[in-house]
Amino acid sequence: MNWLSSPIPPLTRLVVATVLLCLQVIAFVTVAVGVAVAQNTESVSECDPDNVVYRGQLGRSFIQDGVSVSEVTRPVFIQCDTELIALTGFQESEFRFKFVGEVRIVELGDTLYADTVVYFTDTQVGEASGNVLITDGRVVLTAPDAIFYRDEKRTVFNNGVQFEDSTTVLTSRFGTYWSKEARAEFDSRVELRQDSLYVSADTLTYLRDLEETRARGHVYVERTDGELVTIFANTLFHSGLTDSSHFAGNVDMLQVSSDSTGIDSLFVKSQHLYLTQSDTTVNVVATDSVEVIQGNFSVISDTLTYIRSKDGASVLTRSYGSPVAWLDLTQITSEDLRLTRVNGLLDSLRADGNVFVAEYDSLLSRVQQLKGRTLVGLFENDSLRTMMVSPNAEALYYMEAPDEGEQKATRLSSDRIVFSFKNGELIKIGSYVDLDGEYYPANIVDQAKNLSGYRWEPERRPDNSKFREAWLRRVEQRNRHMQL
């Protein structure tokens, strides 16, 4: 019997036609994509980007802008270590694929979600748009659109982006994220928020694994560690692991703390400022052209250290490198100067090395003077109670003579001179060991010469009102800059 000439039953004919149609679909998808259907078993290091898997249910074919486009539903796309699924896929050219609807891309530990993705197999670049979300389980990045570079493990955001992990929320107008390095480079209107830290800047680099932040340009920082600290600078480096910060370039710091005495402000200007914390203290180190104002105390110096207990009970301010300090109307110069506050009130003052104290007496139009190697001052209720200078103490003190309009002066030298005050007024001068003195009555008072090392420089004193004005200008400039 010649089976070739025998009629084929209808059912058999239908089965054969169905099988042939399926084979044609598989062949069409495979040929249209120009890739191998074989399972990709290569490791990432041996990745062949030309080896692409693209499969799904073949849909319609049509011409768009003169190009033949094939549609696939429920597509699965694989290139090296990247796998993509979506509701619909379109091959728009040999290397261009478009995926629409619930697009998900999985690459190693990273997953990208979007409404639409256009992917180029030759360059391994994808353009995601619509509700873009990227996550590795620890970090979530969201944006309206993004461009991802598969081979570089890099994603670029050109229309706004938000980065969020367990400790940090970071936003900007533009940004780039390297998933392998866990590094974010954000630019324009950058804002970083952590538990007690806020940073805004022109550009910012965040290294997630190292918890490091590097900010540049119009840097503004707020810290809330029991008190509000705000800082302007040109650059910032912050380590989350050590909870330390380094500010550089035109640094202005304002600290406002609430304690039992009310609101107390600390102003600091410098070129460098280091902010660190321990379990018990907050520490500030300022260097290079330092200016400080706190209440009735101000100082200029090369270096300043400020140590405050976290409960706010004690504060030590230390200036060295030829500091010049002012306490009320008194100017103090030395090589090293320390001021201690307890519960918000002045407690003690110590100056070491070539100490010179000067105070202008407006009633006499004279400068009262005191010098020695070391000065120790003790306070009570924020008012100076005693001041001792030793050794090699010298003093030049002017006073009103009995005759109205006349003056007299006394010059003392001793191993130690002690001044006693009440309500801010000098009530007693005591000297101990090797006392020597000269008296200048009214007729020769002008013969009293200034003490050696005389310094009186009121024009150098930091001005509180000018500092506040400059601070407000920087606040206004920042606000305008963030709105650009």
- What domain count does the chain have? 2
Would 189 be classed as within a structural domain?
yes
pLDDT for residue 480: 85
Which residue, of 146, 173, 193, is where some domain finishes? 193
Tens of pLDDT, residue by residue over 61-100, are 888 777 778 889 999 999 988 999 999 999 988 899 999 9
Which residues of the chain, if any, have pLDDT below 50?
1-45, 260-263
pLDDT for residue 264: 65
Which residue, of 151, 173, 193, is where some domain finishes? 193
- Percent helix, strand, coil in the chain, to 5, is 10, 60, 25
Would 268 be classed as within a structural domain?
no
Q: Is 32 exposed, middle or buried (0-12, 13-18, 19+ CB in 10 A)?
A: middle
Q: Model-level pTM?
A: 0.82
Would 93 be classed as within a structural domain?
yes
Instruction: Output the six-digit token pair for 228.
Output: 């509000």
pLDDT for residue 43: 41
Please tell me the distance from the alpha carbon of residue 456 to that of residue 358, in angstroms, as a whole number: 6
Tens of pLDDT, residue by residue over 299-342, are 999 999 999 888 878 989 999 988 999 988 899 999 999 999 99
Residues 48 and 189 in one domain: yes
Which residue, of 171, 193, 215, is where some domain finishes? 193
Tell me the sheet residues that pair with 185: 176, 205
308 and 285 Cβ atoms separated by less than 8 Å: no
Instruction: Output the six-digit token pair for 364.
Output: 């006499």
Q: What is the CATH number of the domain that holds 104?
A: 2.60.450.10
pLDDT for residue 290: 96
Q: What is the CATH number of the domain that holds 366?
A: 2.60.450
Would 296 be classed as within a structural domain?
no
SS (H, E, C) 254-294: EEEEEECCEEEEEEEEEEEEEEEECCCEEEEEEEEEEEEEE
Please tell me the distance from the alpha carbon of residue 417 to that of residue 387, in angstroms, as a whole number: 8
Please tell me the distance from the alpha carbon of residue 90 to that of residue 76, in angstroms, as a whole number: 12
Would 140 be classed as within a structural domain?
yes
pLDDT for residue 421: 85
Expressed as residue numbers, the domain containing 154 is 44-193
Residues 189 and 328 in one domain: no
Would 89 be classed as within a structural domain?
yes
Would 105 be classed as within a structural domain?
yes
Would 247 be classed as within a structural domain?
no
